[in-house]
């Protein structure tokens, strides 16, 4: 059996695997929904972080959240795109990680979230841990063990 409890991998720090903040598409507090929708559409991501000018994390904005907030009872209220700001509709109930948390904590959160934001002790945004990066690393870790056992 593959001995995952060898554990070096799962105990390694989340910080080793994050996409750093400067490479993460985001919007700022004060941006309207139209701007957020443009960023989401152009980047192809479904959700991105909402930061302030100091790079503190406030929440996540997503295309479904934006669409939900422009859907009226009888028509799409396009005017809300310029009227509402990201902080009016963003999701603030989000899990976060710290760079020195073990990867196994990140793995657990990634079951229900495609990515998890990493912050420091003052909530300054450091980057994101994504499913893709973790699965890629896990795959690279497991494959040699698997084929070694088959030999
Ligand atoms: P992935 O696991 O690479 O498919 O990424 C999962 C999700 O993480 C994406 O749908 C985005 O919401 C978010 N994401 C990944 N990379 C970035 C990035 N560079 N900037 C902003 N969001 C990202």
> Residue 23, SS3?
helix
CB 109 within 8 A of CB 124: no
User: For residues 96 and 89, what is the distance between their CA atoms, to the nearest angstrom?
Assistant: 19
Identify whether 1 is part of a domain: no
- For residue 2, being part of any structural domain is answered with no
How many Cα atoms are found within 13 Å in the side-chain-facing hemisphere of 147?
Answer: 5
| 103 belongs to a structural domain | yes
pLDDT tens for residues 16-39? 999 999 999 999 999 999 999 999
Full domain range(s) for residue 92: 7-150
The reply to whether ligand 1 has any atom less than 6 angstroms from the CB of 47 is: yes
In a domain, 59, yes or no: yes
∠ CA(116), CA(122), CA(124), 5° rounding? 50
CA of 116 to the centre of ligand 1 (A): 9
In this predicted model, what pLDDT tens digit does every residue of 33-89 receive, in sequence order?
Answer: 999 999 999 999 999 999 999 999 999 999 999 999 999 999 999 999 999 999 999
pLDDT digits (tens, 9 = 90+) for 76-132: 999 999 999 999 999 999 999 999 999 999 999 999 999 999 999 999 999 999 999
Number of domains, the chain: 1
Instruction: Quote the DSSP letter at residue 18.
Output: P
Do 20 and 126 form a contact (C-beta atoms < 8 A)? yes
Backbone angles phi, psi at 128, to 5 degrees: -130, 150
| Residue 33, domain member (yes or no) | yes
Distance 150 CA to ligand 1 centre (A): 35
Helix (H, G, I), strand (E, B) or coil at 121: coil
**Gap from CA of 1 to ligand 1 centroid (Å):** 33
Q: Are strands 96-97 and 115-119 parallel, antiparallel or unpaired?
A: parallel
Confirm whether 83 is domain-assigned. Answer: yes
Q: The domain spanning residue 63 has which CATH number?
A: 3.10.580.10
């Amino acid at each position: 059996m593959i001995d995952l409890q060898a554990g070096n991998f799962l105990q390694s720090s989340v910080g080793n695997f994050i996409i750093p903040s400067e490479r993460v598409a985001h919007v700022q507090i004060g941006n309207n929904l139209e701007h957020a929708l443009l960023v989401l559409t152009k980047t192809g991501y479904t959700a991105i972080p909402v930061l302030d000018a100091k790079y503190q994390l406030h929440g996540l904005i997503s295309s479904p959240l934006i669409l939900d907030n422009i859907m009226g009872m009888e028509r799409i209220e396009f005017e809300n795109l310029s009227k509402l700001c990201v902080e009016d509709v963003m999701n603030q109930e989000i899990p976060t990680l710290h760079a020195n948390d073990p990867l196994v904590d990140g793995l657990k959160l990634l079951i229900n979230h495609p990515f998890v934001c990493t912050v420091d002790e003052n909530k300054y945004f450091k980057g994101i841990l994504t499913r893709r990066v973790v699965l890629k690393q896990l795959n690279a870790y497991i494959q040699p063990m698997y084929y070694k056992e088959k030999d």
